[in-house]
Structure 1
Amino acid sequence: MSPSGVYLRNATRMWRSLEPSQASESAALFRAEFPGFVRMIALAPGAVEPPAGRPFTYEDAFGPPVDGVDRLPIMVRPPGAAPAPPAARAAEVRSAADLAVAERVMIDGFPLRRYQPLRTGTALPPRVLELPGWRVWLAYCDGVPAAGAYTYDDGESNGVYWVATLPEHRGHGLGRAVMTAAIAVAPERPHSLVATDVGRPLYESVGFTEVGQVNWHSRG
């Protein structure tokens, strides 16, 4: 499997775990139907027809750059000891109340417009606390919820998703706290993620390197 394939496999398994009855997969495409939008991931080269009239996100790691479409780096960290944590600490979310807080931090920290205005549980339903492989992380700044992320361990690799710090709390090592906590849970596995320009320096500093790029098509 290619290094980019580590991410693609993890992402498809993660989205499938949320709505198994609404997910389908062929040799070329993974597709999952969610309330309000469709998630698609290319598994091989080939053209894909967007769902008519519906919001969607389609990740294509095989096509060339496309004008007007975000092209983001896929990054992988090989197995190895987790980096030393910063002074700030992140804790794993255990309760539905804390999950709702973490969900809001991630949605507002990016921000993820699809989920705004946020209805609690729309992006991260409470059942993720019981689903195998899922972990949600939350870091605080002076007692205030400030940074979050979630991870999905598919049994072979650990995917890191939605790493975000609220703008007013950036620069205090909270994103690093979330990343080091996530890595420390499964240092024997490779970790994968898709980076933004803002987050890339952090990911490189904890051992991630670019292994490919993905076109991020979306509507709505």
Structure 2
Amino acid sequence: MTVTGKTMKENVENLPGFPEDQTIIRPLSNPIKPTGHIQILRGSLAPGGCVGKITGKEGLRFEGKARVYDSEPDFITSLEAGEIKKDEKTVVIIRYDGPKGGPGMPEMLKPSSAIMGAGLGKDVALLTDGRFSGGSHGFIIGHIVPEAMEGGPIALVEDGDTIVIDAETRAIDLVVPEEEVARRRKAWKAPAPRYTKGTLSKYAQLVRNASEGCVTDSGLKN
């Protein structure tokens, strides 16, 4: 029952149908594309999984050289300085912004919007252990697990590394020899937490990874 005193069906049953030539609201038999734009990818860069928003407008496969930033502000400064070039396939990595690293897994709307605003939508893929809003668009991958703060592969990426993202095979890989990855892992040390007391410090210590929903009560006794 609705505020009109009628059911939803009764409210719309006498409305005219859609014009035959309209293409906005499509039937299931004629979708814009056969698959959705939300993709779950896995690979050597995200063994625990990650979430891709890939419509296909910017392509379904991206291969480029990594450009690594340990915070969102560092990336914005670099972009504004003109350090990200058009026609150079670049995989921007913004890390240490996951559930523990953020802490709180901040939204990456500003970086994704800045990339599109700079006209780099077809030249840059954005990868992060942070998250995206529904308004973000471009070749973007978020929710990377394990996150950088936990020493995930994203923490071991260096500038110039080759990264391949394939939405059709749902793969995301760091193309670096295993021996080199092992060397980097041995040398890696977690950075100091951004908060050492208070609510955010407690949150960072309790929160689970993005693939597990970022819950904070896992394992607690009733």
TM over 0.5: no
Instruction: Tell which has more relative contact order, 1 or 2 (C-alpha 8 A, sep 6+).
Output: 1
Instruction: Give the structure-2-normalised TM-score.
Output: 0.27
- Give the structure with the higher percent strand: 1
Larger Rg: 2
Structure having the larger proportion of residues in helix:
1
